[in-house]
Amino acid sequence: MDNITHALQGIKVLDLTRVLGGPYATQILADHGAEVIKVEPEFGDEVRDWGPPFNDSIAAYYINLNRNKKLISIDLRQKQGQDIILKLLEDSDVLIENFKTGTMENWGLGFEDVLSKKFPKLIHCRISGFGSDGPLGGYPGYDVIIQAMAGMMSINGMPDSGSVRIGSPIVDMGTGLYSTIGILMALQERNVSGRGQFIDMTLYDSAIALMHPYNANYLLSGIPGTPTGNDHPNISPYGKFKTRTNEIVIMIGNNNGFAKLCNELGLEELLSNSKFINNSDRVQNRDELNKLIENALKDVDGGEFSEKLLAAGIPAGPVRNIQETLDHPHTEHRGMKITEGNYQGISSPIKFSRSKTAGVKIKPSKIGANTRQILSSLGYDSSTIEEMLSTGVVSEMKEDNNNTQQ
């Protein structure tokens, strides 16, 4: 077992997903050693075109979700294309897809009736908007729509701005993370039972699960949350403050931290003020406290003072843009940027003491880049492969002389 380099080495994943949630999940698995084969239609995953920016006609959106995957293009509407999927599943551990509910069943690839019987150890993860049944069952789901429907937008924004979309596609990415967790749980359970199972993941469920503490607050108080801007509904002081140079964020979770902050700001008199004794007092008098803190910060250098607060054990940090974050020495120290030739991306945040990440073994490439290679490994001869290419069962994009993604 000493030759196992990556945590998921030996796991094979068939990826039939597109856009974000599914590809994000399978890239996590691929980054940690799983063999991932991504199946795309002839026109490819549509996020290939979600740009600018582009690198060799491939959008950054696609590039940073699809490294370390072998690429094959199959027309799954054709019986011969469905047969290729069945051959690929013969030695696969995981199938993950995000087709509209019922699509796999219509193709004769449903888990209950077909796949679970042919491949009893297979783990089939389906990502959908709302699931297959219930009042919203079968409806398509998209990140921003689910943000609206699950209450996320209702608590995001400033008090006077109304509901605002969270900038990062948190529903899609959160569903990708939950899907990865579910797959790993199912693999562990299979180690005991010897059996695969179906994982029913939805954007809707994931969004609701990500709504802490607002759901918890409502369940106890009966009061729905509202936009609080940079403030926290349960904690004070917590928010963004101006300084002489830049804005900083401060978060105080207990009385000891508040005492340290007051000492650093020269506001020791607040510690005996009945308005600010405990967190609940500070929440009720949030506006007054925020004004006192911002007044004390008006002459300090925000960057230097943030580090001084951190060194004193006080959670604080400067508000940075993306460039400042990615260029920061600690980002480099943590190895969070990957550069391989003309490929640039964000690395996996999961770091083990022994197991290594895969780096960039396979760069995102043209549609069907590995079609011939994968079909040959399944036992198809060259004449059959040529016939399938000519009839559109499978596809490959011809090499572009300027393409440097290979």
Query: What kind of fold does domain 12-210+348-395 have according to CATH?
Result: Rossmann fold (3.40.50)
Dist CA 95 CA 199 (whole Å): 10
| Predicted TM-score (pTM) of this structure | 0.92
Catalytic (active site) residue 299: no
pLDDT tens per residue across span 214-265: 999 999 999 999 998 999 999 999 999 999 999 999 999 999 999 999 999 9
Backbone angle region of 4, left / alpha / beta, with phi > 0 → left and psi within -120 to 50 → alpha: beta
Structure confidence at residue 147 (pLDDT): 97
Instruction: Classify each residue of 339-369 as buried b or exposed e, where b means 16 or more C-beta atoms within 10 Å of its C-beta.
Output: eeeebebebbeeeeeeeebbebebbbbbbbb
| pLDDT tens digits for range 359-396 | 999 999 999 999 999 999 999 999 999 999 999 999 99
Q: State residue 247's pLDDT score.
A: 96
pLDDT tops 90 at residue 402 = no
- 293 pLDDT tier (thresholds 50, 70, 90): very high
Query: For the segment 78-111, what is each residue's pLDDT rounded down to a tens digit?
Result: 999 999 999 999 999 999 999 999 999 999 999 9
Residue of 70, 39, 62 whose CA lies nearest to 361: 70
Residue 397: what pLDDT? Answer: 83
130, two tokens: 């709302």
Give the model's pLDDT for residue 197: 98
Architecture of domain 238-326: 2-Layer Sandwich (3.30)
Q: Is the pLDDT of residue 406 over 50?
A: no
**pLDDT (0 to 100) of residue 399:** 54
Q: Tell whether the model's pLDDT for residue 267 goes beyond 90.
A: yes
Percent of the chain with pLDDT over 70: 97
Catalytic residue among 56, 172, 281, 381: 172
* C-alpha–C-alpha distance, residues 337 and 343, integer Å: 10
Q: Provide the residue ranges of all domains of the chain, joining segments of one domain with +.
A: 12-210+348-395, 238-326
Whole-number average pLDDT of the chain: 95
The 8-class DSSP code of residue 114 comes to: I
Domains 12-210+348-395 and 238-326 share a fold: no
